[in-house]
Structure 1
């Protein structure tokens, strides 16, 4: 069964919050050799403008598996080329100077194989720069799993494995392969009030929640959202103005391939 495509409009509601980590990652990218800039898992092109501004004379290529997201990325006018491809198997036609991936590779398994493979695709002296959410054990995400299992135990009985490892795992994996920097940041995000529902639900619904709700009927999804939001208020109480303070953890790594 083909999964429903991403909803760019829903994802873009939190563009500013999602862009901040990409900017923090980009600040750690130093001198690069000759070669293209790859936005791997470019999504709707949110990072395209800042990558083009930082590297105006480089060929900027966006890679994503979602046709809907690629259509949005094309509208930015920042990319020299856009290609539909699976990041797990994608390979460039020539070694790039930078592979930049913002909040995409958490969707792919086997990082122990994937990350060294991506590093090996770079030109000598090139940089692999990755940012991934590591919020999966936070209440916002854990409640999605527990709510789904409580309501639909027969569908969500399979064991769950955290898709992003601790920072030390990536440091040990990549340090032998090149100059490696790994860090983790908790962002205290203020989510604006919403007309209906809880602000955190609106944030998670466009990303982490998708695999849990895409197979539900409309009635089942409504039950799921009601139960999920009832739990959210305990961990993320609304402020006087209706906003919510939402701590969100992300892990970063940059690896410079040896020349």
Structure 2
């Protein structure tokens, strides 16, 4: 939640008329947007019916729509397009981000946060495990679809389009409990992308190989806690 809060805090607009939350998930950011901009028309977009059901249950007075970000083509421009930890799942940022920029009203903002932890052991060891097994030919093309790039890439892409551009990275230190908590964390997020294409026994074998690797990379502290640093990239483009 903290990255979402930090992204929101850096948006300078005081009273936008329309706010879109791209990839809103279960709607846990909607109350933050409403608290910041009480009079705005706010809509959350997601392509998961299950997530939208949870969002509507949690925030029954708010608006949500089932929409694929990659195909989104709004009828009007919006003052704020806010997206927290969603665009990393979409390919071809080279065309995606300029297209989203075109949906921002004059004076408005495109605000993005995406995980960028690919150089950390938590993610790098997934690739190592992919390359060591019989599933390599099946999964290396999946890895190749990763679209997330570094700050310089997004500056080159967006600076010609934006009136002002603010890009930064923050590394968040998480303190985790459990026997192999970093493996548990990535299984619930990034590792799933590579487990889903596999059937058993390959699926279980890949997970076991990764879990063995990650345990050594993130040893517990003397008190039993495990420290897990996670980098995130932020961008706020004003048009």
Task: Give the TM-score of the pair, scaled to structure 1.
Answer: 0.85
Q: Is the 8 A contact 1:92 1:121 kept in 2?
A: yes
Given the alignment, which residue of 171, 174, 188 partners 1:186? 171
Structure-to-structure mapping, 1:25-174, within 5 angstroms: 25-31=7-13, 34-77=16-59, 80-151=62-133, 152-158=135-141, 160=144, 162-174=146-158
SS at match of 1:231: helix
Q: Is the 8 A contact 2:88 2:146 kept in 1?
A: no
2:197 aligned with 1:215: yes
Q: Once the 2 structures are TM-superposed, how far is the Cα of residue 34 of structure 1 from its aligned partner?
A: 4.4
**Structure 1 residues 150 and 79 mapped into 2: Cα distance closer, same or farther (>3 Å)?**
farther
Aligned-residue CA RMSD (Å): 1.8
Q: Is the 8 A contact 1:127 1:255 kept in 2?
A: yes
**Structure 1 residues 253 and 157 mapped into 2: Cα distance closer, same or farther (>3 Å)?**
closer
| Ranges in structure 1 where 5+ consecutive residues have no aligned partner | 1-18
Q: Which moved more, 1:157-166 or 1:126-135?
A: 157-166
SS at match of 2:69: coil
Q: Once the 2 structures are TM-superposed, how far is the Cα of residue 215 of structure 1 from its aligned partner?
A: 2.8
2:2 aligned with 1:20: yes
Q: Once the 2 structures are TM-superposed, how far is the Cα of residue 161 of structure 1 from its aligned partner?
A: 5.4
Q: Is the 8 A contact 2:27 2:59 kept in 1?
A: no
Distance, in Å, in 1 between the alignment partners of 2:27 and 2:109 is 20
Q: Give aligned pairs, total.
A: 236
Task: Give the TM-score of the pair, scaled to structure 2.
Answer: 0.91
Q: Which moved more, 1:21-30 or 1:70-79?
A: 70-79
* CA distances 1:97-145 after superposition (whole Å, capped 9, x unpaired): 1000000001111212111111111111110000000112211112122
Q: Once the 2 structures are TM-superposed, how far is the Cα of residue 41 of structure 1 from its aligned partner?
A: 0.6
Q: Which moved more, 1:22-31 or 1:233-242?
A: 233-242
Structure 1 runs, 4 residues or longer, greater than 4 Å off: none
Distance, in Å, in 1 between the alignment partners of 2:206 and 2:36 is 43
Q: 1:16 is matched with which residue? A: none
SS at match of 1:228: helix
Q: Is the 8 A contact 1:36 1:96 kept in 2?
A: yes
